[in-house]
Structures are given as C-alpha cells and as structure tokens.
Amino acid sequence: VVDQIRLWQLENERMRTTPGFLFKDFDTYDEYQALSSYAEEIGVLEWKSDKKVMFFVSKYEQLRDFLKSRKSSK
Amino acid sequence: MPRAIRGVLIECEPAIKSIIVHLDSANNDIIIEDLDESHLVVKENMVHLLKQKLEDRLKETYRPEEPLADSE
C-alpha cells in the first residue's frame, strides 16, 4: 500500500492532466490570435503555441459564441 | 473555420513524455497531438489506461529498491 501511495504521488507530481479542447486549423493567423487572446482574457487558456498556431482551452462554449459573433460581424 | 478537438492536455517532464510517446507508437491510439517537449493532448478515454501503464513503468524503475527492504 505504501508503494501504491508513493507511485501515486510521483505520478501526480510528474503529470498534470486538464480536460478540454485543442483548437487548430485556423484559416488565418489573425483568427488564431483573436481567439487565443480572448481565451486568455476569460481565463480558459491552458497552453498555446504561436509557432504551431494551436491552443488548448479548458472550456469551449464562450469561444464558440465569440467565434460566431466574429463571423457574423464581418 | 478552426477545429476544436476534445481531449486531455498532459503536462509532464520530458522523460515521462517520451514514455507516453513510446506507448503510443505501438498502435497510435493514445496521442491526439504532440505539442512540445513537455505537453501533449491525448484521447480522453485513454487517460486511465495511460496512468496505469505509467505506473507499471515506474514500478519497474523502482524494483531495484525492493531487495534492500528484505535484506535484514
């Protein structure tokens, strides 16, 4: 049992898991930037890479609405 | 239109990440996207299995300590 606990601790220290959504395949870099900064603003951004033009968020709904309103305002 | 893919973000040290990449290489059924040296996105339903397999790996690594406990 002690071994189990130690392993469990090790694993938790070494690995952090966050469920959510990976956003990729943006039409334009502008779209990526607008959406990722909005995600950061509302505090759901977990990871991003300007180089890969991808980001990961813990929540999706607000981004979907943001994307919709962006599209319709064009 | 960008795509939003459901998954689990894993943040870990590069050594752990390379174990995960190795586990995935057998069937390519774990990793959705390899992000950088310490991040990757995996399938939600594989996280439990992944943790189990990692635990097995870590057990293997720590086995050399066991004989010490028995020796006296």
Q: How far apart are CA A63 and CA A35, in angstroms?
A: 7
Residue B34 distance to chain A (closest CA, Å): 11
- Could you count the other beta carbons within 10 Å of the beta carbon of residue A38? 17
**Residue B9 and residue A15: Cβ atoms within 8 Å?**
no
Interface size between A and B, measured as CB pairs under 8 A: 86
**Residue B58 and residue A60: Cβ atoms within 8 Å?**
no
Nearest to B35 by CA among B10, B5, B67, B52: B10
Could you give the C-alpha distances from A26 to A51, A71, B32, in angstroms and in order?
13, 13, 17
CATH classification (class only), A19-72: alpha beta
User: Side-chain half-sphere of B14: how many Cα atoms within 13 Å?
Assistant: 2
B71 falls in which pLDDT band (50, 70, 90)?
Answer: very low
Higher pLDDT, B10 or B54: B10
**Is the pLDDT confidence value at B36 over 60?**
yes
* Alpha-helix runs per DSSP H in chain B: 14-25, 47-62, 66-70
**Is the pLDDT confidence value at B27 over 80?**
yes
Report the side by side order of strands in the sheet with B39-42. A45-49, A54-57, A15-24, B3-12, B39-42, B31-36
User: Side-chain half-sphere of A56: how many Cα atoms within 13 Å?
Assistant: 21
**What is the per-residue pLDDT across A24-67, written as a single tens digit (0 to 9) for each?**
999 999 999 999 999 999 999 999 999 999 999 999 999 999 99
Domains, in order of start, for chain B: 8-65 (3.30.70.1220)
A contacts of B58 (beta carbons < 8 Å): 7, 10-11
State ipTM. Answer: 0.80
